[in-house]
Structure 1
Amino acid sequence: MGARPLLNRRLDGHGTTIFAEMSALATATGSINLGQGFPDTDGPEEVREAAVRALRDGRGNQYPPGPGVPELRTAIAEHQQRFYGLTYDPDTEILVTAGATEAIAAALLALLEPGDEVIAFEPFYDSYAACIAMAGATRVPLTLRAPSFRPDLDELRALITPRTRLLLINTPHNPTGLVLDPTELAAIADLAIEHDLLVVTDEVYEHLVFDGAHHPIAALPGMRERTVSISSAGKTFSFTGWKVGWVTGAPELVTAVRTAKQYLTYVSAGPFQYAVAEALRLPDSYFDGFRADLLHKRDLLTDGLAAAGFRVFRPAGTYFITTDITPLGEKDGIEFCRSLPERCGVVAIPNAVFYDNADAGQSLVRFTFCKRDDVLGEAVSRLQQL
């Protein structure tokens, strides 16, 4: 084997994810896991039953079509029209993926060449960094800074070079809860058009906006033909284990992404695709109720964290809250999160792992509130011990 490392050097530094480490810590210590963003209750019963029905009827038990089952692609098209007035052809402009994670991987592997630069908001979801690395491209962070975490658009312009190929946007933004407003989206779109850049936009929290509204950048003039939009069922319907995501975009973009995707999973989640098609057609009352429930949970945990002594940045979207531990007399988020289970039986995620510029996130810690009210209440009472 020689002295050469076994792991491809592009993935150097992308070992075990912080989520795996912290979830293992939660299990080992019996702590409340407010680290990883998965709900502790299932989504709508009728959607779960739709999956059971598909299994029993033999729909999706064998390989589904590569682009996704037609019923789901049609439902995704209807969803984009219903909520945003965006029109997509289910046959040529929609691709079903193994969650948004695969959609991101396939898009970046398809659209990037070694040497390309990708500008991404920092802190970024950890798979972004890994996928850019696997594509051989270079990530260029645009740091979002507390307390507002709003992007500095002059800084964004300054980061663009002749090697910039793609802007990777996430709104609503994990982990800060930032929701880009129409002015910011228009400015980003203008830069993309001026410099002929592609845009990959991760919109998995599109139905979890508490302040303002979600505006897809693909709806702006000149953006449809250069934007790959990504979302998924996991966050909206609380079935994160099903791993059903999707890509929408112009035919040539979707074809490119599909070319990479077919060699990753080929296909996945056959019966669940039929169930998600039904989920996307749920009445407005479902989406409104889902948002209202999470808004209540956001406020419950926000108030509790503030009472426990954290500096809390109230999120406009997603189901995560970023806090600053400095008022607690702490400064190292990673050490704080490693010791928190022993100290009070709660697990959180240090934001520093989402930064290249680790100093910017050193004292920031993320909590999730997509848990039952009684669990959040117990977590809050434990955190009071700090």
Structure 2
Amino acid sequence: MSHSTKAHDSARVPSLPEPSPVYAATGLDVWTMMNQAAAEVGAVNLGQGFMSFPPKEFITRAAQKALEENAHNQYAPPRGRPALLEQVAARFGLRLGRPIDTASEISIHAGANEALLSVFTAFLTHGQGEEVIVMEPAFDQYAPNIAMAGGTTVYVPLRAQAPADAVMSSNDWKLDMAELEAAVTPKTRIIVLNTPHNPVGKVFTRPELEQIGAVAERHNLLIIADEVYEHLTFAREHLSIASLPRMWDRTVTVGSAGKLLGVTGWRVGWAVGPHALIQPTLAAHTRIVFTTNTPLQEGVAAAMREASANGFYETQRSEYQHRRDRLMAIFDDVGLPYVVPDGAYYLLVNAAAVRMPEDYPFPAAIADRGPNFRLAYYFVREFGVSGIPPAEFYCEPHRALAGDYVRFAFCKTDEGLDAAAAALQKLKNYLQN
């Protein structure tokens, strides 16, 4: 074929449709970016919040048994398998102090993230400019889910009320209730509440929950309570906002077997709330994924049933507190302050004292994301420990609030934490006096 014929044929090829602006220019997500950097140098990965240890044997055995039984290989009902609905109802009935109707007040989802997307989809209308209030720093899936459902995210930050250059409590991070109230407009539909909180580790107190609930009540707002870390608290009890007076009727509580049982790859979650909120959530769920993995629903149900009887949740909390205290001791040793988490499994470390050369050769993809990304990348390359830059959990106007923090996960083995302790000894030579 002649060159002129090739040129003629290529000229006849029509241009492809343009992708949505939401997805056309997206670069590497922070998880891929930091995981790749860690893999390149063999760094200890304390970045992404997945468990580096296996689930307890009774949990995996429950899933294996479900897979072996032929009754669990076809579609589950969109609402969820009866055995799992019963276990979730029992758990939430105790926590919320009310009976939960498995036929109308629960829906089972493909992970907590899909549960969140289903609620947003059910209660936001495209083209109306409806708003959702999110408290920063915020899980980075909230805003994309809100956008996919046709909404707009409005950010209200938690602010540290203690000096950042000393160890502080996660309870020192406060929500300004006047700032929350001021963020409400006639277009506001939903408040997202994450407690225990990722990445701060804050467990909201009853007075704080009552004030948030009062704002929702005054403006007739829905509350989405993201409580995936509800069983991982340390010396502070988690309280569900849906258990407070008048809050059940306006709250959807979201949970996750991934966090509850340490099986994040199983992708089984749930939403709990009154029929008026769960029914449209379920309707959206059936259009997003239709139904959730059948054998793993059965496995989760059996594991939850056994966990309630064998003391698993208490043992797991104790194990996580040990890991938390071990990671805090590591940073005590090297001389960096942090935020003591009352819940979840992350430690925010203030690395303002770390000296970085002004001419350090950061990759363009890192340098372009700002100083907080550069700091996290520096930890990977120079100290051999991977963390996540909390700037990813803020909107652009508030990214300065991420300051000099790096988020490290302690859902890791003792061997992994020991390796991090050894690697971070080098950091002592990089601290300003």
Task: Report the TM-score, using the length of structure 1 for normalisation.
Answer: 0.95
Q: Which residue of 2 aligns with 1:115?
A: 129
RMSD, aligned CA: 1.8
Deviation digits for residues 247-304 of structure 1 (CA, Å, limit 9, x no counterpart): 0011121111111111222122211111111222223621111001101110100121
Instruction: Give the aligned partner of residue 50 of structure 1.
Output: 62
Q: What displacement does 1:145 show?
A: 1.9
The structure that has the greater radius of gyration is: 2
Residue by residue, what CA displacement relative to the aligned partner does 1:302-329 show, whole Å, maximum 9, x if unpaired? Answer: 1212322322111110000111111224
Residues 183, 14 of structure 1: alpha-carbon distance in 2 compared, 3 angstrom cutoff:
farther
1:135 CA displacement = 1.9
**Would you say the 8 A contact 2:135–2:193 is kept in 1?**
yes
Residue 386 of structure 2 is matched in structure 1 by 347
2:360 aligned partner: none
Q: Which amino acid aligns with 2:21?
A: R
Return the match for 2:195 from 163, 167, 171: 171
Q: Distance in 1 between matches of 2:109 and 2:219?
A: 29
- Is the counterpart of residue 227 in structure 1 residue 281 in structure 2? no
Shift in CA distance, 59/305, structure 1 to aligned 2, threshold 3 Å: farther
- % identical equivalent positions: 36
Tell me which residue corresponds to 2:83: 71
Q: Distance in 1 between matches of 2:15 and 2:335?
A: 52
2:95 touches 2:240 (CA, 8 Å); kept in 1? no
Residue number in structure 1 paired with 2:282: 258
- Within 1, Cα distance between the matches of 2:236 and 2:24? 39
Which among 268, 288, 301 is matched to residue 314 of structure 2?
288
| Map of 1:374 onto structure 2 | 415
Q: Structure 2 residue aligned with 1:24, among 26, 33, 36?
A: 36
The aligned residue for residue 367 of structure 2 is none
What is the aligned partner in structure 2 of residue 383 from structure 1?
424
Tell me which of 364, 382, 385 is aligned to 2:405.
364
Counterpart AA for 2:131? E
Is 2:156 the counterpart of 1:145?
no
* Matching of residue 317 in structure 1 with residue 340 in structure 2: no
Q: CA deviation at 1:12?
A: 6.4
1:161 is aligned, of 175, 185, 188, to 185
Q: Return the alpha-carbon distance in structure 1 between the equivalents of residues 393 and 132 of structure 2.
A: 16
Structure 2: state its 5+ residue gaps. 1-13, 163-171, 357-369, 428-433
Distance 1:377 1:265 in 2: 41
Contact 2:96 2:242 (8 Å CA) reproduced: no
- Which of 372, 376, 393 lines up with 1:337 in the alignment? 376
Q: Secondary structure at the match of 2:92?
A: helix
> How many Å apart are 1:65 and its aligned residue?
1.0
CA–CA distance in structure 2, aligned partners of residues 12 and 187 of structure 1: 40
CA contact (8 A) 1:59 1:270 kept: no
* Aligned 1:81-230 pairs, distance under 5 A: 81-113=93-125, 114-146=128-160, 147=162, 148-230=172-254
Amino acid at match of 1:230: V
How far residue 127 of structure 1 moved from its aligned partner, in angstroms, is 0.3
Contact kept? 2:198, 2:346, Cα under 8 Å: yes
* SS of residue matched to 1:268: coil
Look up the equivalent residue of 2:91 and give its one-letter code.
H
Larger mean CA deviation between 337-346 and 199-208 belongs to 337-346
Name the TM-score, length of structure 2 as normaliser.
Answer: 0.85
Deviations 1:337-379 (A, max 9, x none): 2232221221100000100111111422100000011211110
